[in-house]
Structure 1
Amino acid sequence: MGEVAFSTNVYYHNNEGRGDWVPQYVVDLVDDGEGNGHSELVSGNTVYGGGVLGQITFVDRGGVSLPIGDKTSCASLTFPYGGSRNDDPSTPDVDESSNLTYDPNCFADGAIPVGSYRHTNYKKSRIGINGDFIWDTRIADMDNTLRGGFWYEDYTRDENRSWHKIIDSATSYRFDETPYWVQYDREFPVETTMFYLEDQLDLGFAKAHFGIKQFFVDVSKNDRFNATNDQGVSSDSDLLFSAGFVAPLPVTGLEMFAGFAQNYASIKDAVLERDDSDLSSVKPETADNFDLGLRYSSKDLSASLTYYVTKFEDRINFVSNETVTGIDFLESTAGGYINDGGIESKGFEASLSYQLSDNFSVYGSYTSNDSEYTESEYTEVDIIGNGVIGAAEQMGVVSIDWVRGNHYAGLSTKYVGERWMNQANTAAVEAYTVSDFYLGTTIDDLGSSVESIEINFTINNLFDESYLGTVATNAAWIGAPRTMALNLKAAF
């Protein structure tokens, strides 16, 4: 009958955090009447939810908004301070979609600037259980292994956004702990169940496997200010199939492998954040992955070469007919999430690891990647055939490591090629190369209650390269500068 083994695991995680922005205005929420000071500027007045009347930028000592002066002669702020939205006489006095810096020279002498500290406060908790079994048996004198199991998780994300008045915008970013506005307060429960079954059969000339799995996902939003905004959606997958084989070749240590797998991504709770998203027309994202390759392994050398193709469909994207300059702090842009086209990626990956001696080893890898948009219906320009935002065509890593007894060190260098920053492929981020260094030792036999001490010293971005790291639509984040760290770990 063979041998059967079972296992289960229960887990719970909980974490909290906060994200911050500093808009250069206070949101006008209450109609305080003509000539009266804004109640939003008085500590202790908190508005929960509600609509936006406008923005407060400069006030007099009574807290009354000041009008913009002569716009034809007051502009003085230039890059990198953000420019001024008042530097063009044709620019409207009120433009809630703009987050450009307000020029103090556009207001009367003695004008007091006001601003906000915007907090997005979140709390996440998840509890789950998983279980699996393995059944080893024989079929017609061939070894066979059947695996199966399930995964269940109950996940909840709480999020609220609070706006705090900066106490004195002229001197610092210190803010009033009591918010003048709590913009929203929401809870996003997500319940996920997954079942899988996989069989592996040793045919002698090759090992083959076949598997199926399926996800059942329910996503909801509970609006604590307005229950009419509550909504939910089921985001179940179809049956997802996978198959593959590994076959040894006549050369000792060389084998061929191939695999196919269907994957999917459920509708995320971020889609439910927008009240105007039509959930009935949004479906989960799907992908088909295929790879074919060779790998070799011996005492001192390991190498692999893989060709891959991935077809990604039903990409969920936010679409709006409005254009916003800069950051939409109020998220007032009308729009919703839809399935908009897909992406096809293909290329090859090569890697090699070689033990030069008892103390030195080298490793290298190279990736050639071609990622393109295959279809899109709602973009402003035709992007079919264009390169995907943030996907580098060339990537490589080279590292050398040294070990002698309890001492070790290493140097690694990574190259990332040019990447597109917009779907139209009119703006690109330059390629960059960064190196990291590490050095460490372990001290044993201390002859005390301390069994050992491990000392690690690392330098990331060793040559202090200036580069743009993560790429988003029409934006890129500056990579971290040279960073050094010393870590000590003791075992008792």
Structure 2
Amino acid sequence: MSRQLKTKSLLSLAITSAIAMPALADNAKDETNTIEEVAVIAKKLSYANNTVDVTMIDQQAPITSVLAVMDNLPGISINEGDAFGGDDWSTSINMRGFSIDGNQQQLGMTVDGIPNGGSNYGGGAKANRYLDTDNLLTVEVAQGTSDISSASLDALGGTFNFVSKDPEQQQSTTIAYTTGSHDAQRYFARYETGEIAQNTFAYISYSDTSTSRWVGKGSNGGADKQHAEVKFVSTQGKFTYTGRLSYDDVAEDNYNNVSIDQFKQTPDWDQLTWNWTGIPHFDQMFAEGWSTLRENTLAYVKIDYALSDVTNFEVTPYYHKNKGRGDWIPPYLILLDDSGDAVLDEKGNPVRYGFADQQGLPLAPAADCTANYSWPWNSGTGLHPACYGDDAVPVMSFRHTHYAKERTGFTAKAQTTIGDHDLLAGIWYETSERDEHRDWHKVIDARVYHHFDQIPYWTQYKNTFDQDTLKWYLQDTITISDFTLNLGVQQYLVDIKKTDHFHSAKNAKVDSDSDVLFSTGLLYQLNPATELFAGYSENFASIKDGVLERDTSTLTEIEPETAENIDFGIRYFGENLNLQVTAYSIEFNDRITFIAPGSNTDGIDYTIGTNGTYLNVGGIDSTGLELSASYKLNDNWELYASFTKNDSEYVGNAPGFEKGQQVIDSVDDMWVLSANYYNGDLRFGASTKYTGERGQADDYLVTDVNLGYTINFTGQGIKSVDLALVVNNLFDEDYLSTGTGNGTSFFIGAPRTTSLTVNASF
């Protein structure tokens, strides 16, 4: 951003948000921990936006996922399987009726402006894979209309940009330890180098985190995570170099979704088990057999060149590598022919068997078995032990889906000011390769445990997806007196190719190009403290490579998803009061939905493979109102509130929904009330959030509290010790959090969870 453009801005980015005291991270408090206003100069924005401040970060423990810090912002609902964000499978983000969950990726996500590579479970990675909460500066949220320079293929309903802290100028070391409910432990260390070369600063950090699932005990699963980050900033003349490397290695055992009836019967059990019975039909629900393993490495180097006071160029090459696995333990083996291919029944489904004789040969159940025996979880018939003789041996599979992805790309932009015009132009280019294959391993002895043969007995499929992405954009920001007009155009050019390593006839490719997309906005500076704004944008999400996975998807008939977003609002920044009110209307077209194939079971279909299809099924209309306000009572007390009224309805009819029906898992009503206190070395915060009904799921109210105290030392050696206590869901509310996209099953919200962090600075 040019210096002249900066001086033209009458309000800071903090002012343009609805957050009072939008000071960022550690800069938000002075040495005595009283509330201090900090202005961060930025461009004027003609669309709704909010920024996470330090109080929202304080409300969450360092062991918590960085996603959780956004939950109090208007329009946003964050749901994770536990209070620590220890399971990607059960994580969802909903904003204005748009979702990131197991089936949908409709919201863009970047880290320091670098694209995250998609937020989907298979091959994607959310921001918590790239950034520790200790190293988070803020999150920039654009509801509805995304920043034109945002590098994302998912930004239908807005964007999230997670910003990492810069290195400090003074050398220091931080060591922290967190302990908490459900066997939670976290070790963290960060070393600030100080000035290691002329105008060059850096830090390196490492964390080791482990938790158990809050459901059950003993062998109930959990999460183990190793995470490391390195960042440097160097200013040399007119050049500024910023480099960052993050590495994340995590193994998570999943939470399971439940029906409304199951929740009412047992609101603290997700139907997974923690005792091995030796009966595969029960042990398919063994928690440690439902797992997500992921390893992510992301690196970038940003080069910023200030040609003059009004012109600068920026280019950021980056590299990302993702690999991992998803596990399940089906209660049967697949019957193979002499060629090693699955034997198919008359419906085209793989034939399975659950018991074998002493020689390992498949056994058939007794003729009347299906009629006489049933299970609480049906994933096939004829699997009850009573259907077989006493010498029958139960068999079981350990199913692995392997994911691997490599991305290489760069973002580049140029900015200049000519008279009343602030001009911006940029491109984003990325090439990626994603591999996915699924293999089945024989459990060595299902009567003993789920130890499995490392050599798979059947590989179900193997595909490679190559994708090239190019985005270009232009924007002119015209400032005349108290009026600012934004005019922008952008376009996405996306090519995807699938290579089927087993059946070349199933190779496919699709061009997922957008039209030229327009955006415009008007901002009026009513007075030094008040802005009125209105914005319109055409947003786009490309066809995902997952569409090509499905053999029956008709690619010639699938269109990319688009959305038209309109915002009207007002921002006020006074001496003690900050306020933002936004009314919005969104028309979402050509929604792509997965239509599952018919199944011959009533439960989990482990063999679904590449069957099923994707279709465009109408769209969604969303209208609503968002309000956020904060009031600074004095130097110590601050109050914050947000309110969301959202109405998201389906347009058109398709399997699973009808025209006019509320969008599945969308939230109509939300509100937040919070209070934060800073006095000397003491801080305290309390926050209550109401989330309305979501289809069949009842509304709920959750309260979190946090308490912290810093002990400062003089002299050499240790500088300070900070104690931070966080209690999530203080009143132990039983509730259903996020849904699974079908309107009938949901994940259970986490119970009361407590954590204590001791942080020492040297």
SS at match of 1:419: coil
- Per-residue deviation, 1:295: 2.0
Which AA in structure 2 matches 1:15?
N
CA distance in 2, matches of 1:230, 1:334: 15
Q: Secondary structure at the match of 1:29?
A: coil
Give the corresponding residue for 2:624: 347
Q: Which residue of 1 aligns with 2:406?
A: 125
Query: What does 1:361-380 correspond to in 2, within 5 Å?
Result: 361-376=638-653, 378-379=654-655
Q: 2:101 maps to what in 1?
A: none
2:554 to 256, 259, 278: 278
SS at structure 2 position matched to 1:272: helix
Which residue does the alignment assign to 1:267? Answer: 543
Alignment of 1:199-218 (within 5 A): 199-218=476-495
Contact 2:482 2:526 in 1 (8 A): no
| Structure 2: runs of 5 or more not aligned | 1-307
1:395 and 2:670 correspond: yes
1:103 Cα deviation (Å)?
A: 2.0
Decide whether aligned partners of structure 1 residues 475 and 31 sit closer, same or farther in structure 2, where only a CA change above 3 A counts.
farther
CA distance in 2, matches of 1:50, 1:105: 25
CA pair 246-53 structure 1, distance change in 2 beyond 3 A = closer
Distance 2:500 2:609 in 1: 17
CA contact (8 A) 1:221 1:230 kept: yes
Long gaps (5+) in structure 1: 33-46, 85-97, 421-427
Aligned 8 A contact 1:69 1:108 in 2: no
1:286-305 to 2 correspondence within 5 Å? 286-305=562-581
Q: Matches of residues 73-112 of structure 1 in structure 2 within 5 Å?
A: 75=372, 78-79=375-376, 82=377, 98-99=379-380, 102-112=383-393
**Which residue does 1:479 correspond to in 2?**
749
Q: CA separation of 1:319/1:395 partners in 2, compared to 1, >3 Å: closer, same or farther?
A: same
1:8 matched to 2:353 = no
Give the alignment partner of residue 532 of structure 2, picking from 256, 260, 276. 256
Change (3 A) 1:380 1:132: closer
CA contact (8 A) 1:363 1:400 kept: yes
Query: For residues 194 and 249 of structure 1, what CA distance do their matches in structure 2 show?
Result: 35
The aligned runs of 1:65-214 (5 Å cut-off) are: 65-69=362-366, 71=368, 75=372, 78-79=375-376, 82=377, 98-99=379-380, 102-138=383-419, 143-214=420-491
Separation (CA, whole Å) in 1 of partners of 2:700 and 2:736: 8
1 or 2, which has the higher strand percentage?
1
Structure 1 residue identity aligned to 2:356 = V
Please give the secondary structure, in 2, of the residue aligned with 1:63.
coil
Q: How does 1:212-227 map onto structure 2 within 5 Å?
A: 212-227=489-504
Give 2:692's aligned residue: 417
Partner of 1:319: 595
CA contact (8 A) 2:649 2:662 kept: yes
Residues 410-431 of structure 1 deviation map (CA, whole Å, 9 limit, x = unaligned): 22222211112xxxxxxx1121
The letter for the 1-side match of 2:386 is N
Write the letter of the residue equivalent to 1:359: N
Aligned AA (1:483): T
Partner of 1:466: 734
Q: Runs of 4+ in structure 1 displaced over 6 angstroms? A: 48-52
Q: Is the contact made by 1:49 and 1:184 (CA closer than 8 Å) also made in structure 2?
A: no
Q: Relative to total residues, which structure has the larger helix share, 1 or 2?
A: 2
| Aligned residue in 2 for 1:359 | 636
Asked if residue 26 in structure 1 is aligned to residue 333 in structure 2, the reply is yes
Report the AA paired with residue 345 of structure 1. S
Pick from 580, 601, 608 the counterpart of residue 331 of structure 1: 608
Q: Deviations over 1:293-314 (max 9, x none)?
A: 1222111111121111000001
- Tell me the CA shift for residue 223 of structure 1: 2.0
Aligned match for 1:62, one of 359, 362, 382: 359
Cα distance, 1:436 vs structure 2: 2.5
Query: Post-superposition shift, 1:31?
Result: 5.0
Q: Deviation at 1:348? A: 0.6
1:231 aligned to which of 494, 502, 508: 508
Give identity over the alignment, percent: 40
**Contact kept in structure 2, 1:320 and 1:333, CA below 8 Å:** no
1:271 aligned counterpart, secondary structure: helix
User: Secondary structure in 1 aligned to 2:451?
Assistant: coil
Distance in 2 (CA, whole Å) between partners of 1:73 and 1:213 is 59
Label 1:337 to 1:73 Cα distance change in 2 as closer, same or farther (>3 A): closer
Structure-1 separation of matches of 2:751 and 2:443: 30
Separation of aligned partners in 2, 1:103 and 1:49: 23
Conserved 8 A contact 2:353-2:364: no
- The whole-number CA distance in structure 2 between the counterparts of 1:119 and 1:448 is 54
**What CA distance in whole angstroms lies between the structure 1 residues aligned with 2:502 and 2:494?**
25
Give, in whole Å, the separation in 1 of the partners of 2:312 and 2:581.
Answer: 35
Q: Would the alpha carbon gap of residues 438 and 50 (structure 1) be closer, same or farther in structure 2, given more than 3 Å must change? A: farther
Going from structure 1 to structure 2, the CA distance change for 1:321 and 1:65 (only over 3 Å counts) comes to: closer
Change (3 A) 1:200 1:168: same
CA 49–451 in structure 1, closer or farther in 2 if over 3 Å, else same: farther
Q: After superposition, give the CA deviation of every residue in 1:31-50 in whole Å (9 maximum; x if it has no partner).
A: 59xxxxxxxxxxxxxx5789
Number of aligned positions between the proteins: 448
Distance in 2 between residues matched to 1:73 and 1:131, nearest whole Å: 63
Aligned AA (1:462) = L
What do residues 19-69 of structure 1 show as CA deviations (whole Å, max 9, x unaligned)?
A: 11121111112259xxxxxxxxxxxxxx57896651010122122222222
Q: 1:233 to 1:70 in 2, by over 3 A?
A: closer
Cα distance in 1 between the residues matched to 2:500 and 2:343: 13
Helix, strand or coil at the partner of 1:17? strand
Cα distance, 1:194–1:367 mapped onto 2, change above 3 Å: same
- How far does residue 368 in structure 1 lie from its aligned partner after superposition? 0.8
Q: What is the aligned counterpart of 2:708 among 440, 460, 464?
A: 440
Structure having the higher Rg: 1
Deviation, 1:101, is 8.6
Residues 1:211 and 1:444: Cα distance change in structure 2 (over 3 Å):
farther
CA contact under 8 A between 1:322 and 1:334: conserved in structure 2?
A: no
Counterpart-to-counterpart distance in 1, 2:617 and 2:524: 39
Q: Secondary structure at the match of 1:326?
A: coil
Whether the 8 Å contact between 1:439 and 1:458 is mirrored in structure 2 is: yes
8 Å Cα contact 1:193-1:215 kept in structure 2:
yes
Look up the equivalent residue of 1:133 and give its one-letter code. Answer: A
